[in-house]
A and B are shown apart, each in its own frame.
Chain A
Amino acid sequence: MRTKILQGLFTILFILVGTWLYYLQIIKGSYYNNLSSKNSIRLLNITASRGNIYDRSGNIISGNKLSFGVFIVPQEADDIEAEITRLSGVLGVSKSLLERNYKRNKTASFAPCELLKNVPKKAAILIEESRFDMPGVLVKEISSRKYYYGEAFSHVIGYVGEIGQLELELLKPYGYNVKDLIGKDGVERFCDSVLRGKDGGMQIQVDNRGRQVKVMSYRRPKSGRDIYLTLDAGLQKTVYNLLNGQRGAAVFMDPENGEIFSLLSSPSYDPEASLLSAMRAEGAPLLNRAVMGAYPPGSIFKLVTGLAALESKGVRPGTDFLCPGKINIGRDELSCWNKDGHGSVDMEKAIAWSCNVYFCHAGLLTGADKITEYARLFGYGRKTGVELFGEYSGFVPSKEWKKAERKEIWYPGDTANFSIGQGYLMITPLQAARMVSAIANGGILVEPHILKRVGDTYTPGAKTENINISKEYLDIVKRGMRKVVEDPDGTGSRALSRIVSISAKTGTVQISPGIAPHAWFVGFAPSENPKICFAVFLENGGSGGDAPAEIAKQALEYWFKRQER
């Protein structure tokens, strides 16, 4: 009897064990199967190489360079501390730096953790040779971004960096991961999704110590696509050198289609270096003055005033005004920059000599509303749509605006100031270049752009708007612009070149007494058949006819000398 009871007890125990086995293997089977796969299967990311960026003729501007990095696989290392101590000796860097990198970069014990990048080849070979003494330490080639023209392209190309927390949250649905490199500015950022390609991966089976046993599957990374810009590396570099770190900006573009040949903001920064120093540096190098900078246009706006006056019949082509050196508008007195006066001037001469008095008269006869209208027609007060971040729309004042925002009426003095580009009007250097291109190409407002080709796709032609200005009037203004350079008394005569005929307009913007004025020099060349237009701007650069004219002239001479060859 008692043996039966004891046997029954065992029967119950065995049934319990069998039931538990059933529970583990049948009911929870797929759960544990999943865990067992996770145990032994690792996914390794293989970063796709980022697309290159070329200029319009195929010169590489931005590419990838390979360098050596020292990594450690925590799971495979016997004594991480000892190995780090030893590595610091071989690499000649402090132990604390390696330890800091280790703590910062460590993700999983099987994943190689970066200790140091840009390791010299000699040290890399040394480490590779002594791998057996340092289990888990490995040397890997890592790809980093290389900018072949250094600072010259920074404001166009931008730079890359590790993805930030906020960016990651936004971009995770699009396949971005922690530690991904991402374009932070310029084309690198604008075209990031094209440039970055698609990461590949490897499914590997590892043993309990994380050592690779075999590759189970492999997906090739898909390289990013290349990008061709409309920019010209040679011109860009030339202008970069000419600007020589002075605060300012320069834009050169094709007046027919808005292809930008060169776009610079100065001072610039090194896109491969840490940006912390650039952030604190004098002259705010991270600011892209060509599209973010807002400045009063000064006398270069007289071109718009003049065309508005002609089109609205405020002045006739033959109208003369007498410039006695100043003009009284109500109680205000506005002086011409030439205190002795320009005498009797027509529009051509007024442009050539940049006569304030003429344009005040013309502006007053035309009316602020018309000038506002034409300023907008020439693209002021709105973004140009160039493929760059942070573009500023600029500002065009109007009577309504002053009444609504400032609760003041519009005085004739406001119109006079507006006519000569002073006062509330604010523009960017790129907008200035766009304006002169519309004059150069016969009244078509083009959309400036910097992307020529993305991968195998050509970017669609830029949008254009017809401003509808009569050729007769445009020719008057063009003749005036030619005289700016070619007339011995022209304000831009310094730009007179034996190589190419340049038409231009200077601008010298008084800010406040004692501070050097902002200097503009905008125009196009060759005068007869414009192929390139430009806007050069220097903050506190003095007279527009001096330094900016010199920069424009030399850049254009470089450009046309090269064209001849």
Chain B
Amino acid sequence: MLELKKNKFKNIDWVLLGAGAAIFIAGLSFLYSATYTKNMDFIVKQVAWFLIGSLFFIIIININYRKIVSFGYVFYFFSLILLLIVVFFGSKRLGAQRWLELGSFNLQPSEFAKLFITLALIQYLTGHKADKGFKSIATAFFIMIVPFALIIVQPDLGTALMLVPVFFALLYIWGARVKHLFIIIGSGLALSPLGWFLLKDYQKDRIMVFMNPDIDPLGAGYTVIQSRIAIGSGGIFGKGWFGGTQNQLNFLTERHTDFIFSVAGEEWGFAGGIILIALYYILVKRAFEIARKTDDPCGVLVACGMATIIGIQAVVNISMTMGFMPVVGLPLPLASYGGSSLLVTMIEIGLLESIAIHR
């Protein structure tokens, strides 16, 4: 046991851990600036979730990640059940049915689903190392598409769309033939106009607004326009902590959750924003380095999967706050307010550390 602990200290990726911690602390400072005028609940809850997340993190780095992956199907069915419950019994907020109320905590099962479906895919792909034919790919696609459909009807476009890059990243790393991947991408693109009809009106609005935010400056475009103004007005060094007028005067909506980066950009400027982006890049880069250091194909898949989940969320979230991508409901990992997202991201980092430790 003692031997193991010593081992841990030797192999644990401190840079990865440090980057994650730095993002979380920076996120807390943004959150404080965004919410201190209202009340301290947000900070208290975020810290509480961080403590819960830390507990999970410690447990996970002590377990071999392969053991966790071997429960992939169990997690998968568990999340399918949760998603079904949400669809039928979940509480509605902001026009979407995403939350499950558990006492004073609200769980967002789709956040967990992102991770669990990824683990299930990894378990399947690890088990079918030998058969890289189209049949395996089709089965993996089926594993992905069922919860995808359940998440999209909530509707939670962001989380659902997150599954797509993860799916392709895993297949690619797993060794699928690039030709097969292109066939799937091609048919997906061919079918996408059909998808337009399945989108809810507000989602169509968001995409239209992304194309041209000025069509509805006080409605759907308001958030994007105000967020872009906030970030742009930050300039080089920003307006200082608590100095952001867009933030402090409530021009930014959703600024403590999905639009936390607007606060960062406004108050800390390009200097702060680029450091934050660099921290996410370090996180992703270390994950890929962990993937390259392990010989275990399962470890490679897990590391690359986690890198993709965290990296894509960061890129998409920051891009949407800058009006560079349509607004989809995706949090900024470790920084946005929200327990489910924080907990899941900490588990993901835990899994990465577990690979680093148990290689």
Residues in A lying within 8 Å of B, measured CB to CB: 2-7, 10-11, 13-14, 17-18, 20-22, 24-26, 28-33, 35-37, 39-40, 205-209, 213
Contact yes or no, B288 A35, CB < 8 A: no
Judge whether B346 is part of the interface by a CB distance below 8 angstroms. no
Say whether chain A's binding surface is mostly helix, strand, loop, or mixed: helix
- A318 to B45 Cα, complex, angstroms: 118
The answer to whether A10 touches B311, judged by C-beta atoms less than 8 angstroms apart, is yes
Is residue B331 contacting chain A, with contact meaning CB distance below 8 A? no
B277 at the interface (CB under 8 A from A): yes
- Of the A-B pairs whose beta carbons lie under 8 Å apart in the complex, a sample of 8, sorted by A's number, is A6-B172, A10-B284, A14-B281, A29-B233, A32-B232, A36-B230, A36-B245, A39-B226
**Contact pick for B270, options A22, A31, A40, A213, CB 8 Å:** A22
**Cβ-based interface call for B292 (8 A):** yes
Q: Which 5 A-B pairs have the closest CB atoms?
A: A32-B232, A36-B233, A25-B270, A7-B288, A207-B249
User: In the complex, which residues 288-312 of chain B have their Cβ closer than 8 Å to any Cβ of chain A?
Assistant: 288, 291-292, 300, 304, 307-308, 311
CB nearest to A14 among chain B residues: B281
CB pair B269 A25 closer than 8 Å: yes
Q: How far is the CB of B232 from chain A (nearest CB, A)?
A: 3
Minimum CB–CB distance for A294 against chain B, Å? 59
Q: Are A208 and B273 in contact (CB under 8 A)?
A: no
Of B249, B280, B291, which contacts A14 at CB under 8 A?
B280
Whether A26 pairs with B292 at a CB distance below 8 angstroms is no
Max chain A CB contacts within 10 Å: which of B229, B233, B270, B322?
B233
Closest Cβ of chain B: how far from A421's Cβ, in Å? 72
Q: Are A25 and B236 in contact (CB under 8 A)?
A: yes
Whether A17 lies near B232 (C-beta < 8 A) is no
Q: Which residues of B contact A11 (CB under 8 A)?
A: 281, 285
CB pair B251 A35 closer than 8 Å: no
How far apart are B60's CB and chain A's nearest CB, in angstroms? 22
- B284 contacts A24, C-beta separation under 8 Å: no
CB pair B250–A6 under 8 Å, yes or no, is no
Shortest C-beta distance, B294 to chain A (Å), equals 10
Q: List 17 extra interface pairs beyond A10-B284, A36-B229, CB under 8 A.
A: A6-B169, A6-B288, A6-B307, A10-B311, A17-B319, A21-B274, A21-B277, A25-B231, A25-B234, A25-B273, A29-B233, A36-B266, A37-B233, A37-B245, A39-B226, A39-B249, A213-B249
In the bound complex, residues from chain B placing their C-beta under 8 Å from that of A205 are 245, 249
Evaluate contact between A32 and B285: CB separation under 8 angstroms: no
**Are A18 and B277 within 8 A (Cβ)?**
yes
Q: Smallest CB-CB separation from B307: which chain A residue?
A: A10
B318: interface (CB < 8 Å): yes
Let me know if B265 is at the binding interface, CB within 8 A.
yes
A273 and B173 CA atoms in complex are apart in Å by 86
Contacts of A21 in B (CB 8 A): 231, 265, 270, 273-274, 277, 318, 322
Contact of A39 among B245, B291, B318 (CB under 8 A): B245
What's the nearest-Cβ distance from chain B to residue A2, in Å?
A: 5
Query: Is A3 within 8 A of B249, CB to CB?
Result: no
Residue in B226, B245, B265 with the greatest tally of chain A CB atoms within 10 Å = B245
Are A33 and B281 in contact (CB-based, < 8 A)?
A: no
Bound together, the chains give a CA A208 to CA B280 distance in angstroms of 31
Most chain B CB inside 10 Å of its own CB: which residue of A22, A25, A35, A36: A25
Among the listed A3, A4, A29, A213, which residue makes an inter-chain contact with B232, where contact means beta carbons less than 8 Å apart? A29
| B-side contacts of A24, CB under 8 Å | 228, 231-232, 265, 322
Are the C-beta atoms of B311 and A29 separated by less than 8 Å?
A: no
Question: Does B78 make an interface contact (CB < 8 A)?
Answer: no
Quick check: A39 and B229 within 8 Å, CB to CB?
A: yes
Chain B interface residue count, CB cutoff 8 Å, equals 43
Q: Pick the contact of A26 from B175, B229, B245, B270 — CB < 8 Å?
A: B270
Q: Which of A3, A5, A14, A28 has the most CB of B within 10 A?
A: A3
B residues less than 8 Å from A209 (CB atoms): 250
Our pick among B235, B285, B315 for the contact of A17 (Cβ within 8 Å) is B315
The reply to whether B291 and A3 form a contact with Cβ atoms under 8 Å apart is yes
**Considering only CB atoms, which chain B residue lies closest to A34 in the complex?**
B233
Instruction: Say yes or no: A3-B277 contact (C-beta < 8 A), given A25-B234, A36-B229.
Output: no
Chain A CB within 10 A, most for which of B226, B229, B274, B315: B229
Q: Is B324 engaged at the interface, CB distance under 8 Å to the other chain?
A: yes
Quick check: B249 and A28 within 8 Å, CB to CB?
A: no
**Cα A29 to Cα B273 with chains together (Å):** 14
How far, in Å, is B223 (CB) from chain A's closest CB? 11
A208 to B248, CA, bound (A): 10
Q: Is the CB–CB distance between A28 and B250 below 8 Å?
A: no
Q: Is B341 an interface residue (CB 8 A)?
A: no
Measured CA separation A183–B188 after assembly (Å): 72
Task: Determine if B118 is an interface residue (Cβ-Cβ < 8 Å).
Answer: no
Contact between chains at A208 and B234 (CB < 8 Å): no
**Pick from A2, A28, A32, A40: contact of B175, CB under 8 Å:** A2
B230-A7 in contact (CB<8A): no
B123 close to A (CB within 8 Å): no
* Contact assessment for A33 and B232 in the assembled complex, using a CB-CB cutoff below 8 Å: yes
Whether the pair A25, B265 counts as a contact (CB closer than 8 A) is yes
Q: Is the CB of A35 within 8 A of B270?
A: no
Other-chain contact of B315, A7, A13, A35, A208 (Cβ < 8 Å):
A13
Residues from chain B with Cβ under 8 Å of A29 in the complex: 232-236
A17 and B318 contacting across the interface, CB-CB below 8 Å: yes
> Which residues on A sit within 8 Å (CB–CB) of B318?
17, 21
> A208–B311 contact, CB under 8 A?
no
A40 contacts B277, C-beta separation under 8 Å: no
Residue of chain A at shortest CB distance from B246: A36
What is the distance, in angstroms, from B19's C-beta to the closest C-beta of chain A? 13
- Complex contact A20–B288 (CB within 8 A): no
A37 to B280: give the CA distance in the assembly, Å: 31
Q: How far is the CA of A209 from the CA of B253 in the complex (A)?
A: 12
Q: Nearest residue in A to B317 (C-beta to C-beta)?
A: A17
- Across the two chains, which residue of chain B brings its CB closest to A15? B281
- Chain B residues near A30: list those with CB within 8 A: 235
User: A29 vs B270: C-alpha distance in the bound complex, in angstroms?
Assistant: 10
- Cβ contacts under 8 Å, A213 to chain B: 249
Cβ contacts under 8 Å, B172 to chain A: 2, 5-6
A6 x B319 contact (CB < 8 A): no
> Contacts A6-B172, A26-B235, A33-B235; is A20 near B229 (CB within 8 Å)?
no
